[in-house]
Structure formats: C-alpha cells, structure tokens
Structure 1
Amino acid sequence: MTEYSATYARYFKYTLFSLSFFVLGYAFTDYKTIFLGLALGTVFSLYNLWNMYSKIGRFGQAVASGQKVKTLGSLARLVTAGLAVLIAQRYPEHFHLLSVVVGLMSVYIIMLIDSLTRATRTSKEKR
C-alpha cells in the first residue's frame, strides 16, 4: 500500500468514526437536527473524499504515462456540497443548515488535525 493510499484509508476511517459519533448523538440527545445535519454533511464530505482520491489516482496515472490530464473535479465537489445545502434548506425541520456546512468541512478538519499531529511527531523524532 502506498503512502497516499494509507493516508486516504486513515482519513476514511477517521471520518467514519466521526460519522458514527454523529449518529450516536442523534440517537441519544435532544439535538437531533444538529446531529442529523452533521451526519448529512459528513456523508457528502466522505463522498467528496472518495471522489477526490479516485480522481487524483487517475491524474497520477495520466501524468506517469504522459497522457493528457483531466481536471480534478472541483466543480463536482462544489455541486455535491450545493446538493447537501439544498437538502438542508428543503427539510429544515430535520437538518440544521450550519451543521450541514460544518459536516461538509469535516474531512478537511480531519486532514488538518492529522497533518499537524504527524508533523509534530516527525519533529519530535528528529530531535
């Protein structure tokens, strides 16, 4: 497994863990719309992570073989985020809009935290 695949698997695992936390929060608290919004945003964020991973893999193969490179799908990720927001606006009694937006950012928050912890570990190991 390449380092890139291992990183993707780690992000996927952490995101599924946070999604399970949101589902438990929905089940056991009175903040159902907030946790359902977080879960909806996280599901769409997880899809965007998978989409980005697969497109970057194809991008790398195209560069390695000298073929023409296609886009990485930024528009597709924006449309997916827009769809999640539209669902939240259509059903405000079920989904808290701000929670959906935070859920959409969950993978990026996980990436940031993971990168910071890995950088901290690496700098401590070098000392």
Structure 2
Amino acid sequence: MSDIQNLFIRLRGYMFSILALFAIGWGVTPYKTIFLSLIMGAAFSFYMLWTMVRSQQKLAKALKEGKKLRSLGTFTRFAIALLAVIIAVEYPKLFDPIVVLLGLMTVYIVIVIDYLIQILRNK
C-alpha cells in the first residue's frame, strides 16, 4: 500500500470517531443545532479529504505514465465548502453557519494531530 493510502486509512478512522462523538453529542445534549452543524461540516470535510486523496492518486498515476494532470481539484473542494455554507444559511433553524465552517476545518485539525502522533511514534 502507498503512503497516501495508509494516511487515508488512519485519517478515515479518526474522522469516523469524531463523527460518532458529534452524533453522540447531538443525541445526548440539548445543543442540537451546534452538533448537527458540526456533523454536517465534518461530513463535508471528510468528503473533501476523499477527493484530495483521489486527486493525489491520479497525480501519481499521471506522473508514472508521463502524462499531464489537468487540475488537483481545488475548485471542487471550494465548491463543496460553499455548498455546506449555503445549506447552513438556507436552514438556520437546523444549522449554524459559523459552526459548519468549524466542522469544515475538522479534517485539517485531524491531519495536524495525526502528524504529531506520527512524530511522537517515530521518536
């Protein structure tokens, strides 16, 4: 397995755990809007991670074959984030747009935490 696939498997496990914690928070606490917003933001964030990994795999394949790659999918990730914010603004009783933005950053926080764990593990 390649390094990017191993990284994705680790990050996927972290993201599922975080989504499960958000779902428990939504079910147990009275802060339904906040946790539902975090769930939506984290779910869209996870989808952005998946598209990022997929584009990296396409890039690696194109480099091996000596072909050019058209794009790395930045526009797609911006569109996904915009869609999440539009949904949050459209349904203000269910979602808080600011918390959705925080949820969208979940994958980047997970990447940093995974990086720190790997540094500690390699020492």
Q: Which TM-score bucket, shorter chain as reference?
A: over 0.9
Residue 31 of structure 1 aligns to which amino acid in structure 2?
Y
1:31 aligned partner: 31
- 1:4 and 1:47 mapped to 2: Cα distance? 16
What's the CA shift for 1:3? Answer: 2.1
Scaled by the length of structure 2, the TM-score of the pair is: 0.96
Q: Identity percentage over the alignment?
A: 39
RMSD between aligned alpha carbons? 0.9
CA contact (8 A) 1:25 1:35 kept: yes
CA contact (8 A) 1:22 1:39 kept: yes
User: What are the ranges of 5 or more consecutive residues in structure 1 without an aligned counterpart?
Assistant: none
2:18 aligned partner: 18
CA contact (8 A) 1:34 1:95 kept: yes
1:66 aligned partner: 66
- 2:69 and 2:97 mapped to 1: Cα distance? 36
What's the CA shift for 1:67? Answer: 0.5
Scaled by the length of structure 1, the TM-score of the pair is: 0.93
2:85 aligned partner: 85
What's the CA shift for 1:120? Answer: 2.5
Deviations 1:69-88 (A, max 9, x none): 22110011001000000000
User: What are the ranges of 5 or more consecutive residues in structure 2 without an aligned counterpart?
Assistant: none
Deviating 4+ runs (over 4 angstroms):
none
2:115 aligned partner: 115
What's the CA shift for 1:119? Answer: 1.3
Deviations 1:81-115 (A, max 9, x none): 00000000011110111210111000100000110
CA contact (8 A) 1:59 1:70 kept: no
